[in-house]
A and B are shown apart, each in its own frame.
Chain A
Amino acid sequence: DAGITQSPRHKVTETGTPVTLRCHQTENHRYMYWYRQDPGHGLRLIHYSYGVKDTDKGEVSDGYSVSRSKTEDFLLTLESATSSQTSVYFCAISSGTNPPGRSPLHFGNGTRLTVT
């Protein structure tokens, strides 16, 4: 398995509170991604990063921000959590120096977030 650790694995939080999810990799891969998975929608890209301090928005980025100050860590922040952000969040990395379309993606085990 690719060395990807997501923390926490489960979190329950209240509407309006800030939440930060962490993705840590030991593979020294350049490309990292945050997806959310919801029934009926599949996986949707939130944000991605092509390197330290190089990030961009995906298709469902509203309400989310990211930071990548080190190669190994990619943080996803919900500035003010809403119930619509209840989901399972997955971090992924690409196994080479290319974007994911050019080489296989490797996923972490996910963070289950519930916003009450």
Chain B
Amino acid sequence: KQEVTQIPAALSVPEGENLVLNCSFTDSAIYNLQWFRQDPGKGLTSLLLIQSSQREQTSGRLNASLDKSSGRSTLYIAASQPGDSATYLCAVDFGNEKLTFGTGTRLTIIP
């Protein structure tokens, strides 16, 4: 079964630190991977999309990497701010034109 896993489920870090969120998936034959942010009571906001042919994507302080051979992606957040507090989800298209989501990592930035 194709699955997406995000560990840890929750993470707290002091403001200003750089941090890495992890996503692992069970099948290396993916089409692409997306990272989303979800604020409480809100929908998901797309942050970055990495095509299978790419190794990374960057947007501002965010950098997402993809290693298909090891079944892993990371989301790097530089110089964290309290406004970065949210739940971060990754989702994978395994080639069946539908996204499979992880259960997310709830990030808290401590001022």
Give residues in A with beta carbon < 8 Å to B: 4, 40-45, 48, 58, 90, 92, 99-110
Contact = CB atoms under 8 A, between A and B. Distances in A.
5 contacts: A48-B98, A101-B95, A101-B99, A105-B99, A109-B41
A33 B101 CA distance: 14
Contact of B104 (A42, A103, A104, A109): A42
Given A101-B32, A104-B34, A104-B49, A43 B101 contact: yes
Contacts of B36: 105, 107
A105 B49 CA distance: 10
A38 B89 CA distance: 14
Given A58-B98, A105-B44, 9 more contacts: A42-B101, A42-B104, A45-B98, A90-B43, A100-B97, A101-B97, A104-B34, A105-B36, A105-B91
B99 A100 contact: yes
B98 A106 contact: no
Interface string B88-111: 010101010111011110000000
A103 B48 CA distance: 10
Residue picked from B31, B45, B46, most chain A C-beta under 10 Å: B46
A110 B98 contact: no
Interface string B1-13: 0001000000000
A48 B97 CA distance: 11
Contacts of B41: 109-110
A109 to B, nearest CB: 5
Contacts of B102: 42
Contacts of A105: 34, 36, 44, 46, 91, 99
A106 B34 CA distance: 12
A102 B41 CA distance: 27
Given A42-B89, A107-B43, A102 B101 contact: no
Nearest to A48: B98
Contacts of A4: 43
